[in-house]
């Protein structure tokens, strides 16, 4: 092969794209990756990683403010916004540099530019400076171009008063009052960060509850916790109008019964979902089907066009980095003919929201399990009854498990509380291994740990709880 011919070319170097390239290299393929911006994509540069750095700052700040409850003394507590943001950016830059190292280590050619499909495995490349670079070709092409923030008519972001997640991560000054439109993971994480640091925060959600993708019981507990923190939560409400001024944004909200509420905030954050980056790639010309802003694929991520595949956020929900990574591996292994490769079961994908308290879930919610026709058993265990949670001063939370009553199969797990984003993986492993309640009950959990609540929740589902 020449320097412009490859076994596989991946378009997009986000989590799904760069992981797909690495796995392809491990399987002996000559591989290239094309990226128009930064290695690591939105997740590493503007999403998962820098937001977690910001939320860690908020967590430490909260602990400092409550030092006396631990027998400690802290005075003149404050924060330097520029340093908070600088730390977040430094974390992101370090990981992006780590991806560059992984590309070099695995012998993957990195091409800086924008790709466009020309058919017959040929890809045109436009450099970042607008110049035309040598075209490349590949037997197989994976589209992993990710997604961007969705906007709504009349609520378009201007980058100054009305923000997307990007502007919300790098504010020039700290806003005293915020309106956040959307109560999914992105909206709630920003609400948690800004409220903890002292902003007045209002969250607007068109549906009848916040975190609508979560189990309804967990959603109610989250609502109660956030309201207790002073976050104003307006469900069943839409934004009727935004008017930007020199001082901020005048907001008109409309409730489900037609009533209107007006107010003024410093900034508005739009968190109403995302849409796939499908433009400018030549997809339609190649016959690739696009539906609701996302590429349509089969269970192996094929687009229906031989040699063309798509993975990650560009193919639709759930829009999660770990889902994209797993798709990248499955897609490449299928291409390479690796034996014993199975399609992904989306009910095995854990979801995490890094607010305070954290929220994590896996599998079917209680309502979904009932709708699917399962006779179910439900177990619950509160944080307030766990020794480690008491020692940590984190007594707010719940672990909820859902089982098929006839087979004992784990159908779902839903959690709210400290560190549940770490705990959920225990249930993810169990569900992937098709664990039943018998194996989980027989598992020895260490004491004292938060993980004991997972065990107790399983025990409770089958009438065997020991500590409640």
**CATH code: domain of residue 381:** 3.30.390.30
Which SS3 state, helix, strand or coil, does residue 3 take?
coil
Residue 348 lies in a domain: no
Q: Note whether residue 346 is domain-resident.
A: no
Residues 188, 214, single domain; the answer is yes
Query: Which pLDDT value is given to residue 1?
Result: 61
* Per-residue buried b or exposed e for 423-443, using 16+ beta carbons within 10 Å of the residue's own CB: bbebbbebbeeebbbeebeee
Last residue of a domain, one of 219, 237, 272: 272
User: At which of 234, 250, 272 does a domain end?
Assistant: 272
Give whole-number Cα distances, 92 to 167, 192, 304, in Å: 15, 20, 36
Regarding whether 279 and 131 lie in a shared domain, the answer is yes
Give domain status of residue 352, yes or no: no
Q: Within this chain, do residues 247 and 363 fall inside the same structural domain, yes or no? A: no
Mean pLDDT per 10-residue section of the chain, whose length is 468 residues: 89 97 98 95 89 97 96 95 97 93 97 95 94 96 95 89 95 96 97 98 97 98 98 96 91 94 96 94 93 96 97 95 97 96 95 98 98 98 98 97 97 98 98 96 98 98 96
The reply to whether 145 and 261 lie within a common domain is no
Within a domain: 393: yes
pLDDT at residue 63, as a whole number: 96
Question: Are 326 and 294 found together in one domain?
Answer: yes
- Asked if the structure places residue 321 within a domain, the reply is yes
Pairing of strands 31-35, 5-11: parallel
Q: Supply the Cα-derived Rg of the chain in whole angstroms.
A: 24
Residue 156 lies in a domain: no
Give the span between the Cα atoms of 294 and 309, in whole angstroms.
13
Whether residues 283 and 142 fall in one domain? yes
Do 328 and 191 lie in a common domain? Answer: no
Terminal-to-terminal C-alpha distance of the chain: 66
Q: Kindly state whether residue 466 falls inside one of the protein's structural domains.
A: no
249 and 313 co-located in one domain: no
Helix (H) or strand (E) holding 454, with range, is helix 452-461
Would residue 325 count as lying in a domain? yes
Instruction: Please indicate, yes or no, whether residues 265 and 176 belong to a single structural domain of this protein.
Output: yes
Structure token pair of residue 186: 């992105």
pLDDT given for residue 246 in this prediction:
85
Q: Which of 223, 326, 342, 447 is catalytic?
A: 447
Q: How many domains does the chain have?
A: 3
Q: Find the CATH number of the domain harbouring 174.
A: 3.50.50.60
Same domain, 284 and 268: no
Which residue range is the domain that position 51 belongs to?
5-149+275-336
| No. of helices (H) and no. of strands (E), the chain | 13, 24
What does the alpha-carbon distance between residue 450 and residue 384 come to, in Å, rounded to a whole number? 11
Residues 418, 393, single domain; the answer is: yes
Per the annotation, the verdict on 447 as an active-site residue is yes
Last residue of a domain, one of 220, 245, 272: 272
Residues 128 and 198 occupy one common structural domain: no
């Amino acid at each position: 092969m020449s320097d412009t011919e490859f076994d596989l070319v991946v378009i997009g170097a986000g989590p799904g794209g760069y992981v797909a390239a690495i796995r392809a290299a491990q399987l002996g393929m000559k591989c290239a990756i094309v990226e128009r911006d930064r290695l690591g994509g939105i997740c590493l540069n503007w999403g998962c990683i820098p937001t977690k750095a910001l939320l860690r700052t908020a967590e430490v700040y909260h602990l400092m403010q409550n030092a006396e409850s631990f027998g400690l003394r802290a005075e003149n507590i404050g924060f330097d916004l520029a340093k908070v943001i600088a730390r977040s950016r430094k974390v992101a830059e370090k990981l992006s540099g780590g991806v560059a190292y992984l590309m070099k280590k695995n012998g993957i050619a990195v091409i800086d530019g924008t790709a466009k499909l020309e058919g017959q495995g040929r890809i045109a490349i436009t450099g970042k400076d607008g110049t035309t670079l040598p075209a490349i070709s590949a037997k197989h092409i994976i589209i992993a171009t990710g997604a961007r923030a969705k906007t709504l008519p009349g609520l378009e972001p201007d980058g100054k008063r009305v923000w997307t997640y990007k502007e919300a991560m790098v504010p020039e000054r700290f806003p005293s009052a915020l309106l956040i439109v959307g109560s999914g993971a992105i909206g709630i994480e920003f609400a948690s960060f800004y409220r903890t640091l002292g902003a007045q925060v209002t969250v607007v959600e068109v549906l009848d509850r916040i975190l609508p993708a979560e189990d309804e019981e967990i959603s109610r507990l989250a609502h109660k916790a956030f309201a207790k923190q002073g976050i104003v939560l307006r469900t069943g409400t839409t934004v009727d109008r935004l008017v930007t001024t020199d001082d901020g944004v005048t907001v008109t909200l409309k409730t489900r019964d037609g009533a209107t509420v007006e107010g003024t905030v410093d900034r508005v954050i739009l968190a109403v979902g995302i849409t796939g980056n499908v433009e400018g790639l030549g997809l339609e010309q190649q016959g690739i089907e696009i539906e609701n802003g996302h590429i349509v694929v089969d269970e192996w991520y094929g687009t229906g066009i031989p040699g063309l595949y798509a993975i990650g956020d560009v193919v639709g929900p759930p829009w999660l980095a770990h889902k994209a990574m797993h798709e990248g591996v499955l897609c490449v292994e299928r291409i390479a003919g690796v034996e014993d490769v199975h399609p992904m079961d989306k009910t095995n994908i854990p979801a995490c929201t890094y607010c305070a308290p954290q929220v994590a879930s896996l599998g079917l919610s209680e309502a979904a399990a009932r709708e699917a026709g399962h006779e179910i058993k439900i177990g619950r265990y509160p944080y307030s009854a766990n020794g480690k949670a008491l020692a940590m001063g984190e007594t707010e939370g719940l672990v909820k498990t859902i089982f098929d009553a006839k087979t004992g199969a784990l159908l779902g797990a839903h959690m709210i509380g400290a560190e549940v984003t770490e705990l959920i993986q225990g249930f993810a492993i169990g569900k992937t291994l098709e664990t039943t309640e018998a194996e989980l009950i027989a598992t020895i959990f260490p004491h004292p740990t938060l993980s004991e609540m997972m065990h107790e929740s399983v025990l409770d589902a089958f009438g065997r709880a020991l500590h409640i």
